[in-house]
Amino acid sequence: MDIMNVLDKGYVRLVNHMGSDLTVVNSARVSYAKESKELSEKDIKLIKFLAREGHTSPFRHVIVQFEVYAPLMVARQWWKYVIGSTHQEATGDSLDAWNESSRRYITEEPTFYIPTSSEWRGKPENSKQGSGDIVTLEIGETYTHELMAYVEEGVSKYEAALKDGICPEQARLFLPAYGMYVRWYWTASLQSICHFLNQRLEHDAQKEIQEYAKAILELTKPLYPNSVEELIGVN
């Protein structure tokens, strides 16, 4: 499995990866000029020790690359982890890279995330952020239709601007931004990925990005089962 569908039209695809649990072990043991050829119980204990004690630099020698297709509101939350990646540890860069499609250059048909009538959430009772329970179907249906109409109007104006010769980088101003799907490549160290997962799998994270975090976990854990097991909930 190298791709997982998320939300109505989104997905996460595993593009490439480097290293294994053994890479983590050998990156730690190089200090003593030692190397393991096969993962042993002793090596697994070392991974547990590294994660527990916060010795995270060996986990930065493992790299994973994903292609993500998600609404802009998810992308901009995710982008915070790239901006802050060099500050996660005093020991150095966590090796994050991000390259995103741009409507300055592409004019493919825009796609939008439209929640169904049963997916709209109300305000939380005791928090300034996040959301609460699902609203009534009647209210949900009203806002699904409202959003669809808003998107259709924006797309119509966008296409009209392009037809009249307006450049794509300005015509895109007519597109409703937050729900529009964007595509990007995210390349990150295992430490950085697990830092993202620890925060975005939490119950108080926005539900949409939680769904993407679950997909990242499902694609990553089979590659590095021991390391992910120890880093999730620790880092």
Residues belonging to the active site: 200
Q: 4 near 218, Cβ under 8 Å?
A: yes
- CA trace torsion 67, 69, 74, 79 (10° rounding): 30
Q: What share of the chain is helix, strand, coil (3-state, %, to 5)?
A: 45, 15, 35
Q: How far are the Cα atoms of 111, 117, 140 from residue 137, in angstroms, in the given order?
A: 24, 6, 5
Give, rounded to a whole angstrom, the gap between the first and last alpha carbons of the chain: 26
Give the Cα separation of 131 and 205 in Å (integer). Answer: 9
